[in-house]
Chains A and B, each alone.
Chain A
Amino acid sequence: MRLDTRFTFDTLVVGGGNRLAAAAARAVAEQPGSAYNPLFVYGTTGLGKTHLMGAIAQLAMQLQPGIELEYLSLEEFMGQMHAAISAGELETFTRRYEAVGMLLLDDVQFIAGRRETQGELLRLFERMQMQGSQIVLTSDRPPSELDDVDDRLVSRLSGGLIVDVTAPDFETRVAILRTLCRERKLAFRDGMLEELARFEFNNVRELQGALNRLAAHQAIGLADVAPRPSRQAQRPVNEFESFLSEVASAVQEHVESWRTRLRERIAYWSGEGYRTGVLQRALDLQKEPDLDGLLATYTAAVEHLKRLEKAASGADERLGADPVFRDPERLGEAEDLVERALSGQTPPAAPNASFQREGFDVGPSNQLAAHAADEVVAAPGATYNPLLIHGPSGVGKTHLLHAIGNALALGAGDGEATRAVGCVHAQKFMDGLIAAIQNGTVERWRTRYAGVSALLIDDVQFVAGKERTQEEFFALFNTLVSEGRQVVLTSDRPPGEIPDLEARLRSRFEGGLVVAIQPPDRTLRERLFTRYLEHAGRPAPPELVHTLAEQPVQSVREIIGVVNRLGAVADASNAPLTPQLARAELGMPTPLAGVPAVQRSRGTRDASFLDVEKVIWEWPAVADRLIEEYR
């Protein structure tokens, strides 16, 4: 990081051209991630965008000494990303940036036309914003004018606050010159700086350059540089200039009315994500309403909504995203919702609707788990209770868990009301409990969980070793199972191998059905490759899928990674995605010419011999194998 320590808010001269930007920057530094996210500052070069960035970074570090902060230009960012891609460590790279509390990217206009970087940035921004990490960007033009940029990225960039910095006005120019003189201990005759400031410099650097010239003249003995009489008369006057000044006064007259102020507030509040229906209706009024009163009422309503939202998310964090907290006209509904949340009537988090059973491909390696899941959905609480699915990371446990949850939530379909299904990650479960202990609302927390008709916990191994969580979970588990309500768990290993798991929990977990999901077998790999290739909008001919599926993988994510990588390579080399290309890119051996490829039996056999297959695959080289054999 190369932060110029001179760039602080104290050394920033604020004037008409950058007042909004400076205020926004300060708000961002004081409350990263909550004020404006992302903050997008644009303006031509030399107007202090980088100064603003530096000031944000320094103030943020001062206020929150522990904050993780990355400050770099987009070009550096792309350089790092490309290095990571070529080293095959893109995931490490993204993980590193995801952990950052504040990311400051300079000169993002260079993103134009770089689709790959755009995609990566989009994903990164999404995740960072979800975690509440602050993003600050600068550019020489607004997002809407960035050429050849993915619309989704543009909308994300425009989602926070967009502010421009414009050339400083006369007074600001004088103030800047005075600051520079003070910093560098320069002194000029009275009126000199004012005279210099009369020139309409396009940016601060030009102004600085002019001051330098003046200082140099003074230093070499042409000492008393004095202001000349006004050069007002030298201004070129032509038709265009007078046209321009007339347009300027027309704009001023018509734009600077109450409607402008109102529209600006509407743009601001819509930018903040609030509904502005009531303000928009005021725009249609013929005469000026009591604007101050209206805006004050609206702002007060928004403040009240924010407090309600905070109270609601304290009781149940996913309520924070409820649209009712974004519409001042639904204040009453918001109050009701908070009341219900506070009395523990709202169920815990529901399963993620994007994970559906139809999207879960089945092969020999996961068919047992899929079958068990279907049984559970057919007769919840009756067949396997609890159902515990274990397997390594990325094989689809979470997908299956949420799919079960979604199917259960639908109800039996015979007119029965939808069921309240709680589906949470064990970490969230624990965090909720800790928050409840802190707030003295454990009873409410219990009521919420005890009210579900099915409870699904992801990565249950996380509760191991946590005394209080295990105790609460044990009590909850007993209540649910004894009343015939379904419990489904996932874990990265069988219950017997989870260290520090209380024996009473382990025996209860094992009392239902414990099924494993193995890394995808060949049949499943073929299905998954076909699915993700098609998902990426690429043809999936059988030969290609067949080739790709030869290579064993540990997780579904690897398959997605391979598809992405091959897609990128094919695009970069402008060649179609062929088995040959895939082999070359993935470093797979080419089948010997003339020797027919061994037709492997598909299906179950493959799954059971997976370990052998994996060992052979990972065997370093033929030479090493020979040494091993002759030893």
Chain B
Amino acid sequence: MSLVNYATREITCKIVYYGPGRSGKTTNLHYIYGQVPGDRKGQMVSLATQTDRTLFFDFLPIDLGTISGFSTRFQLYTVPGQVYYATTRRLVLQGADGVVFVADSQSRQLKENVESFQDLHANLAEHGVAARDVPLVIQYNKQDLPRDMIMSPDELDEQLNFREVPSFAADALHGPGVFVTLRAISEQVLQRLSGKGGR
């Protein structure tokens, strides 16, 4: 993936929202879509099933305009969370500059979270990418639900975040935590501009 093209002075970041089914990946994108001013957002492409589950993937391009002389674009993707769309997930993950893992904070979803997180690592390995080399942040979504239904961010960190990457509590439906997550992953991705692999 060419993050920076110095000849045409373009920066393109592909960020993939990963996680189990119904954890709120598409909701994240919808919230961002609603905040981006009209002239900066491309059309959000969403391929959903009849029951509104993401069938293939969602795609939201955002044009950040010219920054330091570089025309900068973010491309946000989601993967379908349902277990049986493994191939699609692998395809969407290809060439990702950064990954946001959206976990469902509900206690009864813990198993799904763990499995999906393992699936992410397996798919990265499939692309020949070492998971620790890919910028990654974790979002614990649905923190607005009643306390007794969900696990706290600390508890979730304990279960999922063995790599100690930045993690954020969020309520993607109403907005809190969405941009904090996006900002964190962007920061990590852009940090790589100064390192290798920019060509």
Does B associate with A? Answer: yes
Would you give the shortest CB distance from A624 to chain B, in whole angstroms?
Answer: 62
Instruction: Flag whether B187 is at the interface (Cβ < 8 A).
Output: yes
- B190 pairs with A247, CB closer than 8 A: yes
Which residues of B from 152 to 199 have beta carbons under 8 Å from A? 175, 178-179, 182-183, 186-187, 190-194, 196, 198-199
Q: Give the nearest-CB partner of B178 in chain A.
A: A239
Residue A85 at the chain B interface, CB threshold 8 Å: no
Q: Is the CB of B187 within 8 A of A259?
A: no
Residues of B47-106 at the interface with A, using a CB-CB cut-off of 8 Å, are 64-72
1/0 contact trace for A474-510 toward B, CB 8 Å? 0000000000000000000000000000000000000
A158 within 8 A of partner (CB): yes
Is the Cβ of B186 less than 8 Å from the Cβ of A240?
Answer: no
Contact status A254-B199, CB under 8 Å? no
Contacts of B10 in A (CB 8 A): 142
Residues of A within 8 A of B67 (CB): 247-248, 251-252
**Sampled A-B contacts (28; CB under 8 Å):** A144-B8, A158-B7, A162-B7, A164-B9, A164-B66, A240-B32, A240-B36, A240-B37, A240-B179, A242-B179, A243-B179, A247-B64, A248-B68, A250-B186, A251-B70, A253-B194, A254-B191, A255-B11, A255-B68, A255-B70, A255-B190, A256-B68, A259-B194, A260-B193, A263-B198, A266-B6, A267-B6, A267-B7
Complex Cα gap A264–B67 (Å): 15
Known: A240-B179, A243-B179, A251-B11. 6 other contacts (CB 8 A): A238-B35, A243-B182, A255-B190, A260-B6, A271-B7, A284-B196
Q: Does B138 contact A (CB under 8 A)?
A: no
| 255-283 of chain A: CB within 8 A of chain B | 255-257, 259-260, 263-264, 266-267, 270-271, 283
Say whether A246 contacts B35, CB under 8 Å. no
Query: Which residue in chain A gives the minimum CB-CB distance to B179?
Result: A239
Separation in Å of the B28 CB from the closest CB of chain A?
13
- Cross-chain contact B64 with A244 (CB below 8 angstroms): yes
A271 to B178, CA, bound (A): 41
Does the CB pair B191–A250 fall under 8 Å?
Answer: yes
CB pair A263 B179 closer than 8 Å = no
- CB–CB B35/A240 < 8 A: yes
Q: Is A166 an interface residue (CB 8 A)?
A: yes
Shortest Cβ gap from B12 to chain A (Å): 11
Shortest distance from the beta carbon of A379 to any chain B beta carbon, whole Å: 54
The yes or no answer to B137 lying at the interface (CB within 8 A) is no
Q: Which A residues are closer than 8 A to B by beta carbons? A: 16, 142, 144, 158, 162, 164, 166-167, 238-240, 242-244, 246-248, 250-257, 259-260, 263-264, 266-267, 270-271, 283-284
Q: Is the CB of A252 within 8 A of B68?
A: yes
Q: For B182, what are the chain A residues with a Cβ–Cβ distance below 8 Å?
A: 243
Determine the residue in chain B with the shortest Cβ distance to A145: B8
A36 CA to B27 CA in the complex, in Å?
Answer: 48
Contacts of B7 in A (CB 8 A): 158, 162, 267, 270-271
Q: Which B residues are CB-close (under 8 A) to A247?
A: 64, 67, 72, 183, 186, 190
CA distance in complex: A240, B182 (Å): 10
Query: Are B179 and A250 touching (Cβ within 8 A)?
Result: no
> Which B residues are in CB contact (< 8 Å) with A243?
179, 182-183, 186
Q: Closest approach, in angstroms, between the C-beta of A119 and any C-beta of chain B? A: 24
Query: Nearest Cβ distance between residue A171 and chain B, in whole angstroms?
Result: 16
- Residues of B whose CB lies within 8 Å of any CB of A are 4, 6-11, 32, 35-37, 40, 64-72, 175, 178-179, 182-183, 186-187, 190-194, 196, 198-199
B113 CB, nearest partner CB in chain A, Å: 26
Contact status B175-A164, CB under 8 Å:
no
Q: Which residues of A contact B193 (CB under 8 A)?
A: 251, 254-255, 260
Q: A246 contacts B183, CB within 8 Å? A: yes
A270 closest partner in B (C-beta): B7
The reply to whether A255 and B4 contact each other, CB–CB distance below 8 Å, is yes
The secondary structure that dominates the A interface is: helix
Is the Cβ of A164 less than 8 Å from the Cβ of B64?
A: no
Residues on B with beta carbons closer than 8 Å to the beta carbon of A162 = 7-8
A contact residues around B183 at 8 Å (CB): 243, 246-247
From residue B101, how far is it (CB to closest CB) to chain A in Å?
A: 20
Q: How far is the CB of B40 from chain A (nearest CB, A)?
A: 8
Give which listed residue, B37, B178, B190, B198, contacts A259 with CB less than 8 A: B198
CB closest chain-B residue, reference A240: B35
> Would you call A251 and B190 a contact (CB within 8 A)?
yes
Q: Which residue of B lies closest to A246 (CB)?
A: B183
Indicate whether A250 sits within 8 Å of B190 (C-beta atoms), given known contacts A243-B183, A259-B198: yes
Listed residue (B64, B65, B68, B196) with the most chain A CB atoms within 10 angstroms of its CB: B68
- The CA of A142 and the CA of B40, in the complex, are separated in Å by 18
Chain A contacts for B70, CB-based, 8 A? 251, 255
CB contacts (< 8 Å) of A257 on chain B: these are 194
Of the candidates B11, B70, B178, the one having the most CB atoms from chain A within 10 angstroms of its own CB is B70
Residues of B within 8 A of A164 (CB): 9, 66, 71
Interface contact A254-B6, CB-CB below 8 Å: no
- Which chain A positions have C-beta within 8 A of B71? 164
Q: In this complex, what residue of B is CB-closest to A144?
A: B8
Given A247-B72, A259-B198, A166 contacting B66 (CB threshold 8 A): yes
Residue in B closest to A251 when the chains form the complex, CB atoms = B67
Nearest Cβ in chain B — how far from A233, in angstroms?
Answer: 19
User: Taking the nearest CB of chain B, how far is it from the CB of A139, in angstroms?
Assistant: 12
Which partner residue on chain A sits nearest B10 by CB separation?
Answer: A142
B196 contacts across to A, CB distance below 8 A? 283-284
Q: For A166, list chain B residues within 8 Å (CB).
A: 66, 69
Among B8, B40, B178, B187, chain A packs the most CB atoms within 10 A around the CB of B8
How far is A166 from B9 in the complex, measured between Cα atoms in Å?
12
Contact partner of A142 (CB less than 8 A), chosen from B8, B68, B186, is B8
Residue of A nearest to B7 (CB): A267
Q: Once the chains are docked, how many angstroms separate the CA of A392 from the CA of B193?
A: 62
Chain B nearest CB, measured from A44 CB (Å) = 11
B187 (CB) vs chain A CBs: closest residue: A250
B44 CB to closest chain A CB, in angstroms? 14
Q: Which residues of B contact A271 (CB under 8 A)?
A: 7
A167 to B10 Cα, complex, angstroms: 16
Contacts of A250 in B (CB 8 A): 186-187, 190-191
CB nearest to A143 among chain B residues: B8
CB-defined contacts of B66 to chain A, threshold 8 Å: 164, 166-167
In the bound complex, CA of A465 to CA of B9 (Å):
56
- Nearest-neighbor residue (CB-CB) of A167 within chain B: B66
The 10 closest A-B pairs by CB, nearest first: A254-B193, A267-B6, A254-B194, A267-B7, A250-B190, A263-B6, A240-B35, A239-B179, A251-B67, A248-B67
Minimum CB–CB distance for A167 against chain B, Å: 8
CA of A259 to CA of B3 in the docked complex: distance in angstroms? 14
Alpha-carbon separation in the docked complex, A271 to B7 (Å): 8
